């Protein structure tokens, strides 16, 4: 079906009007069930240089047999049971937060080095966009 230039313009205008109406309705819709006076509680915990078993809430996923076969630098070697006991006693509040909250254990970062990666998290931009490479 061939359309004249005037009909194409009319059809394009009609489609644009329908799309903008739908978009404005979607954007005007309420985005959450939180009331106007209530603010959501969001706590972002960023930790660096954590070893295996240093957080209490990850201990039930450890396999001691597999860990004992891994090559570990001398400064991190030690009795695994003592390390697990220390992790359980060290941060009870962090463990309680993890039990009562949402754990996001499968995350990705925008840069392999911690400094630019943190800067990306804090700013919401790619680390290369503000010149941080290492």
pLDDT values of the chain reduced to their tens digit, one per residue, 134 residues: 576 766 667 666 667 665 566 655 555 555 555 566 788 788 777 777 666 566 666 666 677 777 777 777 777 677 777 877 777 777 777 778 877 877 777 777 788 888 888 888 888 888 888 777 76
Q: Report yes or no on 41 lying in a domain.
A: no
CB 57 within 8 A of CB 95: yes
Measured distance CA(106)–CA(32) in Å, rounded: 24
Q: 127 burial class (0-12, 13-18, 19+ CB within 10 angstroms)?
A: buried
Q: Report yes or no on 119 lying in a domain.
A: yes
pLDDT at 59: 64
Please indicate, yes or no, whether residues 63 and 97 belong to a single structural domain of this protein. Answer: yes
Please indicate, yes or no, whether residues 71 and 113 belong to a single structural domain of this protein. Answer: no
Q: Report yes or no on 65 lying in a domain.
A: yes
Q: Domain residues for 11?
A: 1-30
pLDDT at 70: 74
Q: How many residues does the chain have?
A: 134
Q: Report yes or no on 17 lying in a domain.
A: yes
CB 87 within 8 A of CB 59: yes
Measured distance CA(87)–CA(29) in Å, rounded: 45
Helix (H) or strand (E) holding 20: helix 5-28
């Amino acid at each position: 079906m061939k359309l004249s230039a005037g009909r194409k313009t009319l059809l394009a205008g009609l489609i644009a009007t329908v799309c903008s109406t739908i978009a404005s309705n979607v954007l005007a819709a309420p985005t959450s069930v939180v009331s106007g006076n209530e603010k959501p509680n969001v706590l972002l915990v960023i930790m660096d240089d954590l070893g295996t078993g240093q957080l209490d809430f990850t201990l039930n996923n450890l396999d001691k047999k597999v860990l004992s076969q891994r090559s570990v630098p001398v400064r991190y070697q030690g009795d695994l049971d003592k390390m697990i006991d220390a992790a359980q006693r060290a941060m009870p509040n962090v463990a309680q937060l993890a039990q009562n909250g949402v754990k996001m254990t499968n995350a990705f970062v925008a840069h392999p080095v911690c400094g630019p990666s943190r800067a990306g998290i804090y700013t919401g931009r790619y680390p290369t966009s503000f010149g941080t490479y290492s």
